[in-house]
Structure 1
Amino acid sequence: MVSGQREQILEAALEVLAARGFKGTSIDAVAERAGLTRQGVLHYFPSKKRLLLEILNFREQLHREHLADRRVGEDWAGDFAEAVAFEQDHPSLAAVHSVVLAEAVTGQEPAAGYVRERCCSLQDHLTASLVERYGQRLPSGLSAPTAAAAVLALVEGVHQLWLVDPEAHRYPQIVRETMSVLLGAETATTESQSPATKG
């Protein structure tokens, strides 16, 4: 099945990119990991740059599919906590994110362009959503743009921390509680309040 083979390639590429970074990743290495020929990979992804961008889109798609059963937006603190928990169950997703972020910081393309665009897009989208729900200022007293930047900084920082923290299971709850303060919502204090804190 075509779509199945395409996903197989993306899953293999996730693992290779997480381990080697963009410069260290080759079409041949991805093909070997996927059990395909080089031409088999190039049939779907004609360049390494195209493959990287598709990997990053695939990561976002997996997140959306995971949250599909939630009524996203009703409990933002829980939504973000669940997203962190999901990546903890799939560490290659977080590792790829960290690799791409590190390469973006050093100006390597296409990582730098992707991260710049994604950061601006996420902040703009979250700011607009906060304004729609709360107005220009949140119950916590923060302005919508400040809260949006703080939330994204929290999630980015947590990504880096739990990858090297032996007690990584606590981070979904940290995200939930901190976001509750940032947003001015009722703070969740027990793990039973969210499936994101299980495991």
Structure 2
Amino acid sequence: MVRARTEERRVEIVRAAVEVIAERGYRGAALGAVAERVGLTQQGLLHYFPTKEALLVAVLEERDRWDTGGGTALAEAWRPDLLASLVEYNAMRPGIVQTFSALLGESVTEGHPAREFFAERYAQVRSAMAAVLRAEYGERLPSGLTPEQAAPLLAAVMDGLQYQWLLAPESVDMPGTFRAFLDLIQGPPAKDTA
């Protein structure tokens, strides 16, 4: 019972941290602000997450769990049809997308606590995407790209569209544009021979 309550409290803290980071960015997000949102002192929050960096990693891991459906195998989550669904889902949750994008942007600086997380995540994503594309298309997609060429392009377009959409949501159709990109890399549809 105590373990379940501890886990519930950790989830509550992570969700509050997502909100605070979305509002203020990682550097501006104080542990005290997160603690206040969940009715704890800063010292009480440190019982659950001993450092701000540990809380940040928990936020990023939780976001990935949301994106991959929790129990879905990572490789399965990167199928092109599921990627299009993920982009649609992201268009319905700007706060999470903003938090992820802000942390991603900040993480490119030396010494940022999320730098290693994002470097490892991108390596895993590229590898999983390439494996999924290879299983579906073989060594070449209909567009002529290899799975290893297409995988980083998919990740770059997804994240780049998020930045553009956050800056001008009324001008950027993130799901529609991503589907158009999928059409480009997957090549023209097979001709009906009937």
TM-score by shorter chain over 0.5: yes
TM-score after normalising by structure 2? 0.83
Aligned CA distance change for structure 1 residues 114 and 104 (closer, same or farther; 3 Å) = same
> 1:88 maps to which residue?
91
Give the CA deviation at 1:88: 2.3
Aligned partner of 1:172 among 171, 175, 194: 175
Distance 2:179 2:80 in 1: 5
* Counterpart among 136, 141, 166 of residue 139 in structure 2: 136
Q: Indicate whether 1:11 and 2:11 are aligned.
A: no
Runs of 4+ in 1 over 3 A off after TM superposition: 75-78
| Superposition pairs of residues 118-157 of structure 1, within 5 angstroms | 118-157=121-160
| 1:46 Cα deviation from its structure 2 partner | 1.0
Which of 161, 179, 182 is the aligned partner of 2:185? Answer: 182
- Tell me the equivalent position of 2:50: 46
Partner of 1:30: 34
TM-score by length of 1: 0.81
CA distance in 1 between partners of 2:79 and 2:120 (Å): 23
CA RMSD of aligned residues (A): 2.4
Asked if 1 retains the 8 angstrom alpha-carbon contact of 2:91 and 2:175, the reply is no
- Which SS does the other structure have where 2:140 is aligned? coil
Mapped partners of 2:90, 2:65: distance in 1:
13
The correspondence for 1:103, drawn from 106, 111, 117, is 106
Q: Is the 8 A contact 2:162 2:174 kept in 1?
A: no
Q: Distance in 2 between matches of 1:41 and 1:186?
A: 53
Q: What fraction of aligned residue pairs are identical, expressed as a percent?
A: 34
Contact 2:80-2:182 within 8 A present in 1 as well:
yes
In the alignment, the residues of structure 2 paired with residue 44 and residue 62 of structure 1 have an alpha-carbon distance, to the nearest angstrom, of: 21
1:56 aligns with 2:85: no
CA apart distance, 1:135? 1.8
Answer with 156-165 or 168-177: which moved more: 168-177
**Counterparts of 2:65 and 2:188 in 1: how far apart (Å)?**
28
Query: Partner letter of residue 150 of structure 1?
Result: L
**Stretch deviating more after TM superposition (128-137 or 48-57):** 128-137
Which whole-Å deviations, capped at 9, do the CAs of 1:44-69 have from their partners, x for residues lacking one? 2111111000000010111223896x
Output the CA distance in 2 between the equivalents of 1:48 and 1:124: 29
Unaligned runs of 5+ in 2: none
Which structure has the greater CA radius of gyration? Answer: 2
Structure 1 spans left out of the alignment, 5+ residues: 188-199
Letter in 1 for 2:25: G
